[in-house]
Amino acid sequence: MGVLGSPATLIMGVLNVTPDSFSDGGRFEATDAAISHAHRLVAKGADIVDVGGESTRPGAERVAPAEELERVLPVIRALSQEGVVVSVDTMRSTTAQACVAAGASIINDVSGGLADPDMAAVVAAADVDYVAMHWRAHSTTMDSRDRYDDVVREVRDELSARVDALTSAGVRDERIILDPGLGFSKVADSNWPLLANMTEWSGGRRVLIGASRKRFLGAVVTRPGMDAGDPARRDHATTAVTALAAQAGAWAVRVHDARASSDAVRVVSAWQNALDTTR
């Protein structure tokens, strides 16, 4: 189901090598701690480890390019040498280029190439998979850009424009993976139509869903007396999204809790297999 028909949705484990990410900032900032956590993610079912050195939480300021690279490069190099499939979460072409040289096989760009005009050329030359996320603004102002008349149509059209720009720059169409940008310029209700209508905006391309621990899940599951600001309390809701995304054919889900999402994908696969054999 990972590519609307391929065997199963992949698990992309989140590895934030940052001091300020919204869920686990500071926990894996040191290289040794980051590598150890990557090992835990893989042991719990992650197929890909997504390494990021710049927080994109709401309100986050940008980090200097040299600092971002210093955070992620040794981690990516070490994991790649061990045979771990690694993606680099970056908006910068220079960081992407260096990390691909160090062994990263996927570039995960939350700006879809809009933050750095050189990104498309780097992706084309590297010929690696590229996640183009729907994006309207940097973290400091993105919440103010949550203005849609028809969120599914507008995200579809804006992602289609990014695909056109990427392919025009030489990126092979089959390398492009689309991400609707849940939580990015989408504070709460704007996220749900995108999850419920994946085929409407994906154009048949592979889809990455990154809902893990995000605010819009907290808005749904918060109960009286519950700490709505604790991202870890949104893990069960994240697992529910994983199951639904897998059923809908998502290529991968980007999550913090790899084991729960891996289990959810396995259950969906078993269920689907049973349906297929009894039809």
User: Is position 44 annotated as part of the catalytic site?
Assistant: no
Q: Which residue has the tokens 């995200």?
A: 155
What pairs with residue 176 in β-bridges?
Answer: 130
> Helix (H, G, I), strand (E, B), or coil: what is residue 63?
coil
Measured CA to CA, the distance from residue 266 to residue 275 in angstroms comes to 14
Q: Which of 136, 214, 215, 234 is flagged as catalytic?
A: 214
The helix (H) or strand (E) run that includes residue 35 is: helix 31-43
Measured CA to CA, the distance from residue 224 to residue 228 in angstroms comes to 9
Measured CA to CA, the distance from residue 269 to residue 65 in angstroms comes to 41
CA torsion sign, 259 to 112 to 183 to 244?
negative
**Long-range pairs, 105-109, Cβ under 8 A, ≥24:** 105/129, 106/48, 106/50, 106/130, 106/131, 107/131, 108/50, 108/52, 108/133, 108/179, 108/208, 108/254, 109/133
Backbone angles phi, psi at 196, to 5 degrees: -80, -15
CA 131 distance to own-chain centroid: 8
User: Is position 214 annotated as part of the catalytic site?
Assistant: yes
Catalytic residue numbers, as ranges: 214, 254
